[in-house]
Structure 1
Amino acid sequence: MIRVVLADDEAMIRAGVRGILAADPDVEVVAEAGDGRAAIEAVRRHRPDVVLLDIRMPGLDGLSAAAALRRESPEVAVVVLTTFDEDAYVTEALECGVSGFLLKASDPRELLIAIRAAVEGAAYLSPRIARRLLATVRDAGRSRAADARQRVAELTPRERDVLALVGTGASNADIGRALFLSEGTVKAHVSAILRRLALDNRVQAAILAHEAGLVERG
């Protein structure tokens, strides 16, 4: 059972998210909070697997709460669920070490995908956020691109194929179908790529794939 703490200052939003999560028998909302400080206290009390945080909440905001939780409870994955998609928010959230950044306008299925990814130690960004972030990264300087190509050169040809598809946002199942590999084999390749390139999660791997030119523009 995946245990979740839900933090949002709007009761109606909490009710809607709770309803989405209730559709998955493997997910349980163990506590709710209306601000960042209450979310931290709920995490201390219930020790969940994942905490869902809104950004703008009274008192302690979501990003400050995320930073505090990453310091105090690094074993608890943090997923940001918000209306606001400004680049500054996304950048700060990723610097805090969150495992996901979702927009409230996203497909409800994305929320469950993000929660499962967080529990598995992976990361998930709302596709709109990911496209914009990766577009920014594609325009990075030549020195970063050269460094990325040098790092990727350490991989085997098959690992580079997998990394290229990670860069498109493909799931392990999608990669397996594209490369005629089992999902377990793809998962092993992804783990090896993250380990060899000293990356923390799939988001960083996707960024590196774009920097190295493994993903075609457009």
Structure 2
Amino acid sequence: MLNFSDALYFRHATRHFDVNKEIPENDLKFILDSALKAPSSLNLEHWEYVVVQDKSMKSQLKEASFNQQQVEDASAVVVILAKKDTLLDPNSPEVKKLISERIPENGIPIAVNFLQSFPNSEAFTAWSKSQCYITASFLMMAAATLEIDSCPMEGFMNDDVLKLLNYSSDEYEVALVVPLGYRKEPTTPEKVRASLEEKVTFV
């Protein structure tokens, strides 16, 4: 297993997977369990995961992802779904229970007020999707520690993906599609990133 620093340099957006190598079940479960440990606003865990491994399903998911080949070639494709306001309504019994279990009592009115403060459903969904990007980063870094590759994708047709997976567009929006597998090329491309001095200001 790679340490965090080595995993940072190992990880890159892999578009060419080895179709003959499958991720062991225990490794896949480790990656997913690591992702579920990610923080989320109000500790609401705004995400649901759908793991696509069936070849036919991956082929259909590829079509809904503008025919990007990595979707079909990956060992597993993780679709991260963001919950909409219909599922995180603070007046619903389920969300009331969730809030009472996860937020200190004196913070509950603040949390409820925050959840009710969004001007519309679109703003709420954008916030929910932003939480999903946090869990996605945990997913990809956990995979990288096992030298398993990933490719975060926003190129897909939301409604087509939801229909394929049998999820309601009234309740969910697709945040990311993340193929997982083993790179076809053995080397890691050189990372081109701005320096700490260029991007960080200490005050």
* Pairwise same-fold verdict (TM > 0.5): no
Shorter-chain-normalised TM-score: which range?
under 0.3
**Larger radius of gyration between Structure 1 and Structure 2:** 2
Query: Whose helix fraction is larger, Structure 1's or Structure 2's?
Result: 1
- TM-score computed with the length of structure 2 as normaliser: 0.24
TM-score by length of 1: 0.23
